[in-house]
């Protein structure tokens, strides 16, 4: 337990050092980097992804994965656009998008929690299927021209210099932190992620909790889709396509184990900061988008590979010292007998 | 009474049920849609199944070991572009050299995946999600916004997708499909009858037991990923032959199509069961239903994604439910049910 705790602190410490390094390099490259407006802008550009990363942490800690979030985001955005286009008032359209998100999440969750299908397969189907529904709705058009209050919510500052999405993210982060790290429900999510069978035998309603996590994932993804529509001001069939890579990367980089039960939101928060600042720094250096994605991909692999390699090296070292001790004992035995 | 039960396992009924499903779909579509059972439909399906099927063979090998390879789409795109640009620069390059180049490039990419997964102990989904982005990045940088065009390629490459080896009635048998069928036959044999194949199943169905039994699990996983990369490389060559015009986005989404084919084809995502023949039938069924339903219901191409998603879910669900039911039936007949 203590060793585990130390390893976690170690990982977060490592992320913190990386973050400071990235920030120092960025500041050296561009003095404007540390300005409040650039810092807000840096959040603003990926705000939808990092909001979904929060709920993805719940899903992965719970021992599952949700590959369909980006498609749910796209579906919510397309639904709003199509409803708005056909004359539905904007608040109603937003409500419909959020309900659609809940439905998608519940659909995923029912198959995973109550039928017992692997979440990888179910949400892969969801990823293709929900994107497909979005395409049925919007076909190959691009819909924009939203009311100005709606796009202003996505683009303009709401409270002081902070836009709505950033305030939402901060609120959700605190909320998620309290639920996952300090509440009974949070403990249960960890227990299920660690060992679902044990959780079930100790009387935890595992399926209901799993379903709840997937519903939350769908709802938050839909909300992020609404924010994305507001920020971009126009929606297409491929809106938010491929976002799942960035979202999952942030969570795993934060020290959350893909096998569930390990990791916490502080780590994920730090990982989010690292990824955002790294991307911002690369943009300042005129590195193109696809190279940025490639670098994030490398970061994803390294974030698991490096700790593994150090652990393997440590194990090998321990084995060698143990062998040396055995040899010593063997040579000592004849003397004692 | 129990002899047929002992001889046939529930898992072996998968291919049979797929064939039945395909036959039913063919009958229904043939009856409902005018001119559906024509050579044109067959050729169109065969051309796209050839590419996805080739990738699905490799994906099967990887999924059998309880892993997954999401980078295959990027590997297909990279090899298609790389081999295409090499052929464009050097028109004298022969077919064997081009195919070997495609397999080597793909194999090298698969080897990297395998090393990270098997020896770095990084989960396959993380590794290949990362290399999906990395290989695509390599391609975009290498392509530098240029395009491989049909005109720049030697004539024999483009001919591959039009040539008819022989025809049965109106059904033309093209080299692309033959290549994929040959690969299916080879790997069906390898998985069923060689030590390597049987060990692959052993590792997937119980990794711990396989390790305790002394199987070289790491080396096997590495080999599976390398072969998967090679097959994706070959698929990249088929992609080049089929389309001729290759841009930096080539092959995007094939990873999902191959996983879908494998899952619909009855390969268990928890490893240990399934065949490459099943994966090919899965790819065929998906394409058949895609083409047929779109024409039957008179709906637009935009419905494709939603239908495909639903199909995968149904396949996984029915697989789990039916297999569980069959196993219970098998056990119930043969002996007393120990579970209850």
Domain locations in chain A? 48-262
- Put simply, the answer to whether A245 touches B120 (Cβ < 8 Å) is no
Q: Which of A111, A132, A252 sits opposite B303 (nearest CB)?
A: A132
Share of chain B above pLDDT 70, in %: 93
Asked if B55 contacts B72 with a C-beta cutoff of 8 angstroms, the reply is yes
A to B CB pairs, distance under 8 Å? 131
Contact A264, A8 (CB under 8 A): yes
Residues of A with Cβ-Cβ distance to B116 under 8 angstroms: 301, 305
Contact B207, B66 (CB under 8 A): yes
Q: What pLDDT shows up at residue B332?
A: 64
**A281 or B294: which carries more pLDDT confidence?**
A281
pLDDT the model gives residue A14: 82
- Within 8 A of A124 by CB-CB distance, chain B residues are 256, 259-260, 263, 312
Rounded-to-integer distance, Cα A248 and Cα A300, Å: 9
A140: helix, coil or strand? coil
Q: Do A308 and B309 touch (CB under 8 A)?
A: no
Question: Which residue, among B29, B9, B91, B7, has the nearest Cα to B329 in the 3D structure?
Answer: B9
Task: Look at residues A99, A98, A109, A96 and name the one whose alpha carbon lies nearest to residue A68.
Answer: A109
pLDDT band (50, 70, 90) for residue B339: very low
In this prediction the ipTM stands at 0.81
Check CB contact under 8 Å for B133 and A294: yes
CB–CB of B136 and A293 under 8 A?
yes
DSSP string covering B107-164:
HHHHHHHHIIIIIT---HHHHHHHHHHHHHHHHHHHHTT--B-GGGS-HHHHHHTT--
User: Is B144's pLDDT higher than 50?
Assistant: yes
CA B22 to chain centre: 17
pLDDT at A332: 60
Instruction: State the pLDDT at residue A8.
Output: 54
Q: What is the mean pLDDT of residues B231-253?
A: 92
Whether residue A5 has pLDDT greater than 80? no
For residue B260, which residues of chain A lie inside 8 Å, CB to CB? Answer: 124, 128
Half-sphere exposure of A270 (CA within 13 A, CB side): 22
Nearest Cα residue to A225 out of A74, A71, A49: A74
Nearest-Cα distance to chain B for A333, in Å, is: 32
How far apart are the C-alpha atoms of A246 and A230, rounded to whole Å? 20
Provide the pairing of β-strand A234-236 with A162-163. unpaired
* CA dist., res. A119 & res. A52, Å (int): 17
Tell whether A131 is within 8 A of chain B (Cβ): yes
What integer pLDDT is reported at residue B338 of this predicted model? 40
* pLDDT of res. B333: 53
Integer Cα distance of A121 and B160 in angstroms: 35
Average pLDDT, chain A: 88
Beta-carbon contacts of B195 under 8 Å, excluding residues fewer than 6 positions away, are none
Confidence of residue B303 (pLDDT cuts 50, 70, 90): confident
- What are the pLDDT digits (tens) for A147-164? 999 998 888 888 888 889
Q: Name the pLDDT band for B337 (thresholds 50, 70, 90).
A: very low
Query: How do residues A66-86 score in pLDDT, each as one tens digit?
Result: 999 999 999 999 999 999 999
On chain B, the residues whose CB falls within 8 A of the CB of A290 are 136-137, 140-141
> What is the nearest CA distance from A138 to chain B, expressed in angstroms?
9
More confident residue, B307 or A337: B307
Higher pLDDT, B92 or A218: A218
Q: Does A144 touch chain B (CB under 8 A)?
A: no
Helix (H, G, I), strand (E, B) or coil at A127: helix
* Closest chain A C-alpha to B321 CA, distance in angstroms: 9
Cα-to-chain-centroid distance, residue B291:
19
**Smallest Cα distance from A336 to chain B, Å:** 36
| CB contacts, 8 Å: A309 with chain B | 120
A116 touches chain B (CB under 8 A): yes
Distance from CA of B269 to the nearest CA of A (A): 8
pLDDT single digits (tens) A183-236: 999 999 999 999 888 888 888 899 999 999 999 999 999 999 999 999 999 999
Residue B22 has pLDDT above 80, yes or no: yes
Least confident range from A285-289, A292-296, B66-70: namely A285-289
Task: Give the C-alpha separation, A136 to A157, whole Å.
Answer: 34
The per-residue pLDDT for B7 is 65
């Amino acid at each position: 337990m203590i060793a585990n705790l130390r390893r976690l602190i170690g990982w977060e410490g490592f992320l913190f050092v990386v973050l400071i390094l990235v920030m120092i390099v960025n500041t050296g490259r561009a003095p404007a980097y540390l300005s409040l407006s650039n810092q807000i802008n840096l959040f603003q550009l990926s705000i939808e992804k990092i909001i979904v990363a929060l709920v993805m942490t719940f899903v992965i800690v719970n021992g599952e994965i949700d590959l369909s979030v980006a498609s749910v985001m796209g579906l919510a955005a397309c639904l709003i656009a199509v409803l708005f286009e056909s004359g539905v008032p904007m608040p109603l359209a937003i409500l419909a998008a959020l309900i659609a998100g809940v439905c998608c999440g519940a659909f995923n969750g029912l198959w995973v929690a109550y039928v017992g299908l692997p979440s990888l397969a179910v949400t892969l189907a969801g990823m293709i299927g929900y994107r497909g529904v979005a395409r049925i709705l919007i076909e190959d058009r691009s819909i924009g021209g939203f009311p100005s209050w709606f796009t202003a919510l996505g683009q303009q500052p709401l409270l002081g210099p902070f836009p709505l999405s950033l305030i939402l993210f901060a609120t959700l982060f605190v909320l998620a932190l309290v639920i996952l790290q300090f509440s009974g429900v949070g403990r249960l999510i960890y227990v299920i992620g660690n060992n679902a069978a044990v959780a079930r035998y100790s009387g935890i309603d595992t399926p209901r909790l799993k379903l709840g996590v997937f519903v939350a994932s769908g709802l938050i993804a839909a909300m992020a889709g609404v924010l994305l529509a507001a920020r971009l001001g126009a929606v297409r069939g491929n809106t938010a396509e491929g976002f799942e890579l960035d979202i999952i990367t942030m969570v795993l980089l934060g020290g959350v184990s893909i096998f569930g039960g390990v990791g916490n939101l502080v780590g994920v928060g730090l990982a989010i900061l690292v990824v955002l600042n790294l991307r911002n720094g690369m943009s300042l250096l005129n590195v193109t988008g696809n190279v940025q994605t490639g670098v994030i991909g490398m970061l994803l692999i390294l974030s698991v590979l490096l700790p593994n390699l150090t652990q393997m090296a440590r194990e090998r070292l321990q084995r060698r010292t143990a062998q040396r001790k055995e040899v010593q004992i063997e040579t000592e035995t004849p003397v004692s007998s | 009474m129990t002899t047929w039960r002992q001889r046939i396992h529930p898992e072996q009924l998968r291919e049979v049920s797929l064939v039945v499903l395909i036959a039913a779909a063919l009958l229904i579509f043939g009856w409902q849609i005018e001119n559906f059972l024509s050579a044109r439909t067959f050729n169109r399906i065969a051309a796209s199944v050839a590419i996805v099927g080739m990738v699905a063979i490799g994906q099967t090998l990887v999924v059998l070991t309880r892993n997954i390879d999401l980078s295959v789409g990027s590997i297909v795109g990279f090899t298609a572009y790389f081999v295409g640009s090499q052929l464009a620069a050097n028109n004298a390059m022969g077919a064997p050299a081009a195919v070997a180049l495609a397999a080597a490039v793909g194999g090298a990419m698969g080897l990297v995946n395998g090393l990270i997964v098997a020896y770095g102990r990084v989960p396959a989904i993380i590794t290949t999600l990362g290399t999906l982005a990395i290989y695509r990045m390599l391609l975009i940088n290498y392509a530098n916004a240029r395009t491989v065009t049909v005109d720049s390629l030697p004539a024999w490459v483009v001919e591959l997708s039009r040539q008819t080896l022989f025809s049965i009635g109106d059904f033309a048998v093209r080299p692309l499909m033959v290549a994929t069928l040959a690969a299916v036959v080879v790997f069906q044999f390898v998985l069923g009858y060689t030590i390597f194949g049987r060990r692959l199943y052993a590792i997937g169905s119980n990794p711990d037991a396989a390790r305790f039994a002394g199987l070289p699990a790491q080396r096997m996983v590495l080999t599976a990923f390398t072969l998967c990369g090679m097959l994706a490389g070959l698929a990249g060559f088929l992609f080049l032959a089929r389309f001729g015009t290759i841009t930096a986005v080539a092959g995007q989404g094939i990873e999902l199509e191959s996983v879908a084919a494998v899952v619909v084809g009855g390969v268990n995502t928890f490893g240990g069961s399934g065949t490459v023949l099943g994966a090919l039938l899965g790819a065929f069924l998906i394409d058949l239903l895609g083409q047929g339903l779109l024409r039957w219901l008179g709906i637009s191409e935009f419905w494709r994604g939603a239908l495909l998603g639903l199909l995968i879910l149904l396949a996984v669900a029915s697989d789990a439910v039916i297999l569980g039911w069959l196993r219970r039936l098998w056990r119930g007949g043969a002996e007393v049910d120990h579970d209850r």
